Structure 1
């Protein structure tokens, strides 16, 4: 199926608006976790909350940054008391990153705030419309998922 240029242009505009609004909202919600927290660092916290302790290399692959970049972000999160490092059992040199109790609490606070925001945004929608939107968005995200630009060792 080939879409006409006007349809594609409209879709691109709407995606751009969505991404801008989501980044702004995520930035605000991230600052609610901690005033010094950056959006990218919040994504790391959310991934740890969802998946549990992870190696820094897996976190770098998940957010699409280099190991030194994720290392700086993790150091900042550790200084804020939101994560801690734990040694792995199989390799004394390696470590996993996990949320602290404060990190779990803060991520949950943001999850609740995001849910409230979505509830307000979709308050006038019928439940079936919301369900359909979620299904279509999941379908789109599934088809848009591309392999990472660099090898991530099958993690992510």
Structure 2
């Protein structure tokens, strides 16, 4: 199927606006939760809360950053007491990063605040439209999450 260039350009523009607004809101919610939080660090916490312990390389792939960058972020989160490193059971040389109890509480607090914000934004929408939006976003995200050349899924635990 071919798409009209204006339609694709408009969609790309709307995605960019959505991503900027979500990043700004995530940053504000994260800083309210902890003043030293960065948006990227909250993203790592949210991923760990959703997926469980992960290898640092998988977290780097998820975040779209280099392993040294994610290593610095994880060190900061570890210093704040939000994550801990565990030995991987399947490979004694590897480590997994897991949320601490404090990290799970913080991730849940920020997620609850994000849910409240989303509920407020959509309160005037008909329920059917919200349901349709959720279905379409899930379909889009599923297609977008397919393995890419940039990241190998071989390093994931429990993928």
User: TM-score, with normalisation over the residues of structure 2?
Assistant: 0.89
- Measured against aligned partners, the alpha-carbon deviations of 1:96-152 in whole angstroms (never above 9, x if no partner) come to 111111111111001110110010000001111100111111112223334231434
What is the correspondence of 1:52-67 to structure 2 with a 5 Å cutoff?
52-67=52-67
Instruction: Give, in angstroms, the shift of residue 88 of structure 1.
Output: 2.7
Q: CA deviation at 1:9?
A: 2.2
Q: Is the 8 A contact 1:33 1:107 kept in 2?
A: no
Give the unaligned 5+ runs of structure 2. none
Structure 1 unaligned spans of 5+: none
| Residue 90 (structure 1) shift | 4.0
Say if 1:57 and 1:67, in contact at 8 Å, map to a contact too.
yes
Task: Specify the alignment match of 2:154 in structure 1.
Answer: 153
Corresponding residue pairs, total: 156
3-state SS, counterpart of residue 92 of structure 1: strand
TM-score of the superposition, structure 1-length normalised?
Answer: 0.91
Structure 1 residue 94: deviation in Å?
2.2
